[in-house]
Structure 1
């Protein structure tokens, strides 16, 4: 997993600060945006109408929606699908074009999208580091004893390591959801190894969550540290 470095065309108006992609497999793109520069008129100007459920949402939520849809549109254009506007199903999951496997995440003014035409389960996530207090308070829900021991051996503070684990499990959930359409608990998968130098990790399913995803299934992940955030990605051949 490599941080995107090919610049996307600049977007006027000051809302989108930057956008970059990697023509990797899957394609990976990231954009930075300024929620303070959001205006409803931008959604109209760019042809990305706000859904009814967001008409009364706070400005921050509408800014996240617009920034994410704008980046998705750029990514789909790279895959030959022009003027695409991402919508959501009744369960709030994204409705990607036929033949496309993709994932979307946003946090703290950053949007990340991964997409491919290959038969891959794809999950991507970006998170700001949780506080030390939050890491300690959520440890029991997020990790087992072996995972906690592994995290405490990493060369980063525990709150950063716990955020990495949270993000990895979010990426795993997003990768498996289109295949399973059922919720997963954080403890349904476990982190079994981390190569911090190579920024790689491996998770193992602990439960039979359905289909080909049986207990002991291993899923490989990559991750990137960037300022006070971590970005993770899981791909698994179908």
Structure 2
């Protein structure tokens, strides 16, 4: 858990708070949150509670007051007014980041097993340019898993602005392994993002996990 906290601190600038909570240690949900997991299996309820606890830890670390974070009909977290954030889950841990909307316009976070992407889904996740880059890497399917993780994080980062649902072909991801840097490029327009718009991110690996984070600047 300490390793994940250090990674989150390194992926985002000062002022972005982070939280790391083991699944099963989320405590009680706040009013308005439980409806999202009514009837869900036990693990999903525990995962959801850990994610909300991690989100409130992130808010506190960013100097923000704790609040309920219900789920919208599309299952996206409904952050309190003035707050932007992102929540993600691995098998046994929940991660979250949060910041005031005066500091950043959007945040996106995703965590995945640091393991090869199944080859049979590679063409669904990666486009021709990404596959050409992967072909030059050692452990290409492990890097493909990072591209999947990055696309998930970039989607979360842009979604509050566009409210657009789209597939993996809507963005292309460029990876700078030496710098731990990511860039997601829109392949077509989704207002307010024109085709060619770019989101900047970072990634890191620890404890059998890969984590990707994206941030949209204000203005």
TM-score, with length taken from structure 1: 0.78
The number of aligned residues is 213
Distance 1:83 1:114, change over 3 A: closer
Counterpart position of 1:207? 188
Distance 1:53 1:34, change over 3 A: closer
Shift of 1:64: 0.6
Q: What is the rounded CA distance, in whole Å, between the counterparts of 2:168 and 2:113 in structure 1?
A: 18
Q: What is the rounded CA distance, in whole Å, between the counterparts of 2:162 and 2:49 in structure 1?
A: 28
Counterpart position of 2:197? 217
> For residues 190-222 of structure 1, what are the alpha-carbon distances to aligned partners after superposition, in whole Å with 9 as ceiling and x for unaligned?
12x3221211122211101111x1111122110
Distance 1:83 1:175, change over 3 A: closer
With a CA cutoff of 8 Å and minimum separation of 6, indicate the structure with the bigger relative contact order: 2
Q: What is the rounded CA distance, in whole Å, between the counterparts of 1:171 and 1:232 in structure 2?
A: 6
SS of match in other structure, 2:199: strand
2:85 is aligned with 1:102: yes
Counterpart position of 2:209? 229
2:18 is aligned with 1:29: yes
Distance 1:28 1:126, change over 3 A: farther
2:127 is aligned with 1:144: yes
Distance 1:179 1:61, change over 3 A: same
Of 158, 164, 167, 1:185 maps to 167
Of 61, 64, 72, 2:47 maps to 64
Question: What are structure 1's unaligned runs of at least 5 residues?
Answer: 7-19
Question: Do the aligned partners of 2:17 and 2:62 also contact (CA within 8 Å) in 1?
Answer: no
Q: What is the rounded CA distance, in whole Å, between the counterparts of 1:29 and 1:95 in structure 2?
A: 17
Distance 1:220 1:202, change over 3 A: same
When Rg is computed on C-alpha atoms for both structures, the one with the higher figure is: 1
Shift of 1:32: 4.5
Q: What is the rounded CA distance, in whole Å, between the counterparts of 2:15 and 2:167 in structure 1?
A: 26
Distance 1:93 1:49, change over 3 A: closer
Question: Do the aligned partners of 1:96 and 1:102 also contact (CA within 8 Å) in 2?
Answer: yes
Counterpart position of 1:173? 155
Question: What are structure 2's unaligned runs of at least 5 residues?
Answer: none
Root mean square deviation, CA, Å: 2.7
Distance 1:233 1:102, change over 3 A: same
Question: Do the aligned partners of 1:151 and 1:158 also contact (CA within 8 Å) in 2?
Answer: yes
Shift of 1:170: 0.5
Q: What is the rounded CA distance, in whole Å, between the counterparts of 1:102 and 1:110 in structure 2?
A: 17
Counterpart position of 1:126? 111
